Amino acid sequence: MTTCEHLTMCHYISSKLETSPATAQLLKGAYCKGHPAECARYKVARISGIETVPLDLSPSDDDIAERLLSVHNC
């Protein structure tokens, strides 16, 4: 298991920690500290930069991530 290098900068996780700590912990375990490469946010950040990741993009929004990446021809 690896830890996502974007964990400390991830708006989605930090906002979930404030509003729904239990959900944030589940997401962190599944994506951030488990399988970052499966996270839609990670996929977009890896290709086009963390600053391009929409604030509301969920880790499971693979279809949206694919559309965003298609704009970058990835």
Rounded to whole angstroms, the Cα distance separating 69 from 53 reads: 10
CB atoms within 10 A of CB 72: 11
Burial of 64 (0-12, 13-18, 19+ CB in 10 A): middle
Asked if pLDDT for residue 74 goes beyond 60, the answer is no
70: its two tokens: 């298609």
Asked if pLDDT for residue 1 goes beyond 80, the answer is no
Query: What average pLDDT does this structure show over 51-70?
Result: 95
Residue 25's closest CA among 37, 35, 13, 7?
A: 13
Q: What is the pLDDT of residues 3-56, one digit of tens each?
A: 999 999 999 999 988 899 999 999 999 999 999 999 999 999 999 999 999 999
